[in-house]
Amino acid sequence: MSFEFLAPDAAEPVNGTLPTLRSPIEWTLRDQGANFTERAGWRVATDYGNPSAELAACRDSAGVADLSHLGKLELQAEPGVTSSIIAEVTGGGALAPGRAKLHDGVWWCPMAMGRVLALTPPERTAEVRDRLEAAASAAPFASVIEMTAAYGSNALAGPLSRETFARTMALDLRADHFAEGDFAPVSVARTPGMVLRQRGDQFLHLFGAGFAHYVWTVFVDAASHLGGRAVGVTAIEAISTEEVARA
């Protein structure tokens, strides 16, 4: 089974033109000075007018970026079935509770027994969804649910990212307690959320899209009190490249 009624990339053209895909808080980002570019049909905030200051925030304090354009696909099935489907799609390797798996640019995150969330770059979402649906179609009672529009997603990067999170939740994100690849469903800023440590001082926070403005305001405010700020994907991608080079 598959449910694609919320798939942004499956939107029908109007008068021959596809609708632009937008973050649920684009108006907020625009008011804060964001510059945008298009990626895979999405309007993505690249920077806020000062890319060098944004990169410095990611290096020295904390940068908060809106990543609503990430694809989110949820696989639901019996626990053993989800494991076999993920193994088929990723070429092997089981998921462990609390541990996400990065394969070919896609994060596979176990939300619960029998539920796995795939986080994809926007240009890969349709491809990964098709592969998941093909694998799930041969399994009993397996469903692939398109959740891209249902979840908001923010990146936090920088040495004070943990302190930024600490102002909103109780989960211990210190490196010896929350390793690279660790994934946890957890209450953040008194709302249901999920946190993934991707690498080094980089984290991804997922939450209900209806809370996007509230979550953005809380985290940008917390980061700014620590010398951080809102940043665009240009700074996040640059700091990611630096983290990989250091690894």
Asked if 108 contacts 100 with a C-beta cutoff of 8 angstroms, the reply is: yes
Residue 171 and residue 189 in one domain: yes
| Last residue in a domain, options 88, 114, 146 | 146
Is residue 83 in a domain? yes
Residue 164 and residue 241 in one domain: yes
Sort strands 202-208 and 106-112 into parallel, antiparallel or unpaired: unpaired
Which run of H or E residues covers position 55? helix 51-60
Residue 56 and residue 158 in one domain: yes
Is residue 2 in a domain? no
Question: In the predicted model, what is the mean pLDDT of the chain?
Answer: 92
Give mean pLDDT, residues 40-51.
96
Percent of the chain with pLDDT over 70: 96
What's the pLDDT tens digit per position in 218-229? 999 999 999 999
What's the pLDDT tens digit per position in 3-45? 555 788 877 778 888 788 999 999 999 999 999 999 999 999 9
Is residue 17 in a domain? no
What is the pTM for the complete model shown? 0.93
Residue 132 and residue 155 in one domain: no
Residue 107 and residue 207 in one domain: no
pLDDT of residue 8: 83
- Compute how many other C-beta atoms are within 10 angstroms of the C-beta atom of residue 44: 25
The enclosing domain of 102 has a CATH number of 3.30.70.1520
Domain that holds residue 192: 26-69+151-246
Instruction: Find, among 103, 110, 153, 92, the residue nearest to 128 by Cα.
Output: 103
The enclosing domain of 203 has a CATH number of 3.30.1360.120
Residue 131 and residue 180 in one domain: no
Instruction: Find, among 204, 180, 185, 207, the residue nearest to 111 by Cα.
Output: 185
